[in-house]
Every structure is written in structure tokens, then in C-alpha cells.
Amino acid sequence: MDDKALHILATVFGYSEFRFHQQDVIRQLEQGCDAVVLMPTGGGKSLCYQIPAMMRQGVGIVVSPLIALMQDQVSALRQLGVNAAFLNSTLDAVTAREVEQQLRSGELDMLYVAPERLMTESFLNLLDQSPLALFAIDEAHCVSQWGHDFRPEYIQLSILHQRYPEVPRIALTATADDATRREIIQRLGLEQAEVFVSGFDRPNICYRISQNQGNARDELLRFIINEHESDAGIVYCLSRNKVEQTAEWLSAKGLNALPYHAGMTAQERQQNQQRFLNEDNIIIVATIAFGMGIDKPDVRFVAHLNLPKSIEAYYQETGRAGRDGMPATAWMMYGLQDVIMLKQMMESSAADERHKRIERHKLDSMLGFSELTSCRRQALLKYFGDVLEEPCGNCDTCLTPVETWDATEVAQKALSTVHRTGQRFGVTYLIDVLLGKEHERISSFGHNKLSVYGIGAELNARQWRDIFRQLIARNLLTVDIQGHGGLRLTEQCRSVLRGEESLMLRKLVKKEKSTVRKKASSIGFNTEKTELWEALRACRKQLSEQLNVPPFVIFHDATLMDMIERQPQNKEQFSRISGVGEHKLDAYGDAFLKVIKEFSEREKQALSSSDTADETLELFNRGMTAKAIAKHRNLKESTIYTHLAEKIAQGILELNQVLDLDEEQIKLIQDEILNLDEESSGKLKSVYDALDGVYGYELLRCVRASLVVS
Ligand code: ADP
Ligand code: ZN
């Protein structure tokens, strides 16, 4: 059987080898046995049932709660030449009748259905008359009553086994915890099933968390422009208000940002979600209402402007990035205010004490995770019971190790201030006391007479806020239950207060005055490759519009990357690209080959012209000015600058070797260039005009070249 499965993998899907447990799972189903599959997002769960459905006689029934997704999955399968269809409430009666007819006549390889439809007696009657290959229950954690995605209809799916005992079943989920897994097995009657667990690491996601020093929005913008310009991404905010404001603000800065929250009409939400799926570079700014059912593979970043309330939520939300396995970033910025607000929300919630205790524990774990000074991935996996032996090298704490310092003494000052003022004041007031501020409120309480008054003058208010945040995050301080933001001491703080334990805290990282440096692309190519990347994306976009499917249904980013890597020149070579099966080879091979060939041609030409740029470089390196070189070579001075710009873009020359500009001027020009929108990028005229013609085109071209150096 293995040969047959491998054959389908190669010819239909265009992949050369199986991942994780795919092969074992397929074998299990092929033999008519049940399986429970836990695999991280993007791990390749769908192949686990798609391939056996094709191998076995009859149709594979796929149960999925995500109606919005069915259409995409079915179009993706059709693009591969697989006979798939879906049945849900979005279909009109005539189309639904047709699908049912196809089902009865045994034409279908796979049928996606919503659980509520599957469980109707009329549909079950239909199934009685059709040969069945298997049942796949996707998003199987929806059966769990404790999870946030609970679907009552899922409970009834156990009927399938009673009614069709000989048809193998497979339940799939990316949800990590043990309790959910047990619940799936029990509720769906899968005690006999083999369980396949693939670990939860998402190695392509780079985790980054930093502290908000009051400029989170600017930092977000800088992050997007520097690392993910023209990428698709999701920005999570806690409130609708913040969603609206952030989306507006990002749009004003020239990004394609759209809001999404429960306060919008269903139609507006649908529209924005559709654009996110169908276009390449949309940023959705959303509350956590957005995400379930978003299966877009090429989301390159997920940003949090607030702290999620548990590690589970963080893992799930960040997990929407990089499903295609290509590099992606999980970026988060949070601050003291978040910590206080979440603690307050939790303490004042109506939940019973048992629930509160669980939630408190979850929030504390999340806070601890945010303040970590060791590898984040190790901690994340450990939380889910996985072990990663070595630090990952792809998270912020691995990439730029955090400095810590012995903060025992300042912590004692902060804690004493809380104690002496009676454990009822908020951070701002406490800091004022520490700094010895003179104001009426303090004197009216007589706090200017306390021994702690003014003992914290060695630090400024921002540094103190940073310390208070860490003290709360480490549970040395807690926020009062009445919800006024007053801080109280906890049991844990005693040993620090008494000096029995020393306390190491993160050093506050100074705000960097970083300039915007645009990378050629988030995936990190050099300039020429970026050109090919853009051309391939344009080709994909055109096809997707013609066929009315999202671009990733044509080819994933990973497949385009492979084309850039190998630059196939004929169909035979093209067929070896990962993600190119027989059907897609026929359907799109020519279009993409044409793009690649045109690019190769252009590159050849550029190569011959680069000789002349090299000559310019050599003269320049000998100390000649652009003017002198132009005269010497009998070329226009602007041509010489074009050569020099090319060398700057290649990283061979530094901008300041060529131009005599100060930082300020360069920053000014760079900002103008970065402000260009999609359409006018490449056209420097508007930059020239915006700067009142002070800087010539030669000069602008060089500055632009300096921006693409990666
Ligand atoms: P999941 O449902 O687990 O999140 P998918 O089934 O959507 O993941 O697969 C994620 C991506 O990985 C898809 O683009 C899929 O085509 C690709 N993929 C799956 N299996 C393989 C494989 N064996 N080799 C290469 N790519 C694969
Ligand atoms: Zn790490």
C-alpha cells in the first residue's frame, strides 16, 4: 500500500515525502481501522484523510464545523483534479440536489459536510445508499464542552459508529492538551483508535515579546514596515475601540489594514474576511472574534497589542501564522496596564472560586511566559508537556539574550512602599511616593512623612513602572479585588522583603532610535530574486482572479519559493517543484514557466550590463568622483549614478561613500520613499516633488537602493 500512497502524494499533491505520522495514519485507515490525530497547525492533517479517501472504495465524508472553509478546501482539491464537493447551508437547493445525486452515483472522492446536516435523518438515509470510504472528523476538539469552540452537534457524531460500524473514522485536532484528547476519545467512542501525537512545535514561527514603553503602535508599524511589508497578517487587540483605531491608523500610514470585530455587521465582517483570504497583502486588525475558520496558509505575522489571557490562547492565536511552513513572526507587545487590567477582569468576574483559581493560574503562566529570560519555545512546549532539548535559536530571547540584574533592593523599596501606604494605592501613586513627589494627595495622607518617601529617586517613573510590572507578573504583588487598581502584597513577596531571596529582573531595554530599513521581502531574498518573487505572485494573482479562487489555492508561497530556488526551464523540471502535481502541471505550468523564462532573459541582459557597472565601481574605488567617471567613460553622469545605486543595492557600496548627506537628510528621504504606495513605488517623481526638488533623481535613486539592502 505504501507505494500507492506515495504515488498519490507525488502525482496528485506534488510532494515527495510524508511528514510526521502521515504515512502511519494513512496505513491505519487504509486497513479499515480508526485513528485520532494530534498534529500542530500546518502539520498536514488533511492529507491524512484525503489520501486514504482516494485509496479506498467509496466516498470520504469529511465533517467540519467551518463552513467558510469548505469552499476553499473543495476548490483546492478540484485544482488537484480530485472529485470533491461540499454540502452546507450556503448552497442553493438545486446545487445541493446535484451534489446528492453525485454522492448516490458514487462519483465523489470526498464530500465535506457541516455536522448539523450530516446528522439529519434524510442525509443519513442518503449515506445508507452510498459506498463509504471513511469518516473524517476535523477540528475534533469541538466535541469538548470545556473548550471555547464547543459545538453541541459534535456530541452526536458518535452515532456514526453505531450506524456504520465497518467504516473507519479519523478524528483530527491541533489542540494540545491532554484533557481535550481524552474527551475526544470518550465522546466519539474512539477507544479502539490508535492515537498519533506529533508534538506541538511550530519551528517556522519566531516568537517575540517586548514591553510596551508607551509607543506600542509605532513599534507595530515599524515591525510591519521593516519586516512584513506587503505580507498578510493579523493584529489582535482586546477591545473593539482599539481595533477600529488601530486599523484606521495603519491605513493612514499606507498599509492595507481592515477591522474585524463582533460590533460590525455580518456583511462588513464577511467582506473584510473575504478580502483577507483573496488578496495577498491584507492586514486584519481584530478582536479574538476573528480566527476560527481562517485557514489561510500564508499569514506571515500575528501581532498582539494586548496580552492573551492564557498560554493556550497565545498558542492558538499565534498558530494562525505560517501554516505553510514558511518563516513567520509572532510579535507581541504588552505593558503594565495590560497586566493590571487582566488581573482586575479576572478577579471581578462572576465565575466561581474553582474557575477563578484555574483562570488565575493560566494568566500567571502567561505572564511568566512573557517575562521569560530563557528560550520561549522551550517554555511553550514544556507547558504542553513536550520537551525541546536545546534552546531554539528562533525566538527573541535566543536571538538577543536578555540581560538581568539583581533587583532585590529596588524590589524591597517598591514592596515596602506598598506596605507602608496601606496596600490600597495604584502604581502611579506609589511611584510618586517613591520619587518623593510633592502633591497634596500625598501630604493629606501624611505619606510624605514615611521612611519610604523619596527613597526611589535613583530610578525614573518609567523604570519603576517596568519594575512594578515584573513584580506583579511574578506574583509578588497582586491587584485588589474591588477593582480600583490598588496593589497588595502576596505571600510570595515575604522572602524578598526579608532579604532571604534575591530577585533577578529583566533589564529595561532602552528605546532604540531605529531607522526604517526595508528588507527586500519577509522571506529574505536579494533584489533580483524579489523581482522574480513579485512576478510569480502577479502571475498567481491573475490566475486566481480568472478562476475565482484565493491565490494560495493555485500555489502556496512555498511552491513559488521552490520555483525561485530551482528556476525550472521546462515542464519536466517544473514537475519536480514541491507542490506541483500532474493536474497543476498541466493547468499552470506554461504560465509560470513563461514568467521564469522572461526573468532569466532579463537577468542575462543585466549580467552583461553589470560589466559596465563594475567598471564604474572600479574607477570609483580608485577615488574618482561620479562626474570624473562620466567624463572619463564618456557616459552621462546619471548613468554613472545608476551604476553606483546598483552597487549600493547589492551591499557593495555604502550610501555615505557615494553621497554626502547627514543622518537627518537620509531619514527624511527614506521616509518619503517608504511612504510611496504600491502603485507609485518605483516612481521617484512624487518623492522628488515632495522634497521640493531639493534632491536630484540620481541622489534619490541611491537612497532608494540603500533601502533594499537586506
Ligand atoms: P493542517 O490542517 O494540519 O493545519 P494542512 O493539511 O492544511 O495542515 O497542511 C499544511 C500545508 O502543508 C499544506 O500546504 C499542505 O499541502 C502541506 N503539506 C502537507 N503534507 C505535506 C508533505 N508531506 N510534504 C509537503 N507539504 C505537505
Ligand atoms: Zn528560543
Q: What is the CATH number of domain 205-334?
A: 3.40.50.300
Q: Does residue 608 have a pLDDT over 80?
A: no
Q: Quick one: cell of 379?
A: 517554555
Residues 6+ apart with CB under 8 A from 597: 569
CA of 295 to the centre of ligand 1 (A): 11
Q: Which of 323, 553, 556, 584 should be mutated for ligand 1, with most atoms under 8 A from CB?
A: 323
Per CATH, is 2-197 categorized as 3.40.50.300?
A: yes
The enclosing H or E element of 285 equals strand 283-286
Question: Span 5-18, mean pLDDT?
Answer: 94
Cell numbers that stand for 470 in this block: 515584573
Which residue, by CA, sits nearest to atom 17 of ligand 1? Answer: 44
The torsion angles phi and psi of 297, rounded to 5 degrees, stand at: -75, -25
Lowest pLDDT segment from 10-14, 189-193, 213-217, 372-376: 213-217
Three-state helix/strand/coil letters over 345-392: HHHCCCCCHHHHHHHHHHHHHHHHHHCCCCCHHHHHHHHCCCCCCCCC
Position 520 confidence tier, pLDDT thresholds 50, 70, 90:
very low
The model's pLDDT over 665-699, given as tens digits with 9 standing for 90+, comes to: 888 888 888 887 655 555 778 888 888 888 888 88
| pLDDT at residue 647 tops 60 | yes
Average pLDDT over residues 178-187: 88
Residue type, position 457, single letter: A
* Ligand 1: centre distance to CA 568 (Å): 23
CB 221 within 8 A of CB 514: no
Question: Quick one: pLDDT at residue 136?
Answer: 97
- In the CATH hierarchy, which top-level class contains the domain 404-506? mainly alpha
Q: Please, are residues 55 and 214 in contact by the beta-carbon 8 Å criterion?
A: no
Lowest mean pLDDT of 235-249, 268-282, 350-364, name the range.
Answer: 350-364
- Which stretch of DSSP H or E encloses residue 473? helix 461-473
Residue 256 near residue 282 (C-beta atoms within 8 A): yes
Domain ranges of the chain: 2-197, 205-334, 404-506, 523-608, 610-710
DSSP label of 514: P
DSSP H or E run through 188: none
Segment 193-208 mean pLDDT = 92
pLDDT 10s digits, 565-587:
899 999 999 999 999 999 999 99
**What is the crossing angle of helices 67-79 and 582-621, to 10°?**
90
Instruction: Give me ligand 1 centre to Cα 253, in Å.
Output: 35
Ligand 1 pocket residues where CB is under 6 Å? 15, 17-19, 22, 39, 41-47, 297, 323-324, 556
The pLDDT of residue 469 is above 80: yes
The atom of ligand 1 lying closest to the CA of 39 is 3
* Cα–Cα dist 20/31, whole Å: 19
Q: Which of 1-5, 355-359, 647-651 is the least confident region?
A: 1-5
Residue 16 CA: nearest ligand 1 atom is 24
> Listing from the earlier edge strand, what are the strands of the sheet with 205-211?
205-211, 328-334, 299-304, 232-236, 283-286, 257-260
- What number of residues does the chain have? 710
> Which atom of ligand 1 lies at the shortest distance from residue 297's CA?
14
DSSP string, 645-698: HHHHHTTSS-HHHH----HHHHHHHHHHHHT--TTTTT--HHHHHHTTT-S-HH
The whole-angstrom separation of Cα 432 and Cα 421 is 12
- Please state which CATH class domain 523-608 belongs to: mainly alpha
Segment 390-439, tens digit of pLDDT: 999 999 999 998 889 999 999 999 999 999 999 999 999 999 999 999 98
Residue nearest to atom 25 of ligand 1 (CA): 15
Is-above-0.85 flag for pTM? no
**Percent of the chain whose predicted confidence (pLDDT) is above 70:** 94
Atom 18, ligand 1: residue with shortest CA distance: 44
Let me know if the fold of 523-608 is the same as that of 610-710.
Answer: no
Q: What is the pLDDT of residues 35-89, one digit of tens each?
A: 999 998 888 999 999 999 999 999 999 999 887 778 888 999 999 999 999 998 8
Least confident of 180-184, 291-295, 328-332: 291-295
pLDDT band at 259 (very low <50, low <70, confident <90, very high): very high
User: Into which CATH architecture does domain 610-710 fall?
Assistant: Orthogonal Bundle (1.10)
Our CA angle for 583, 589, 594, nearest 5°, is 170
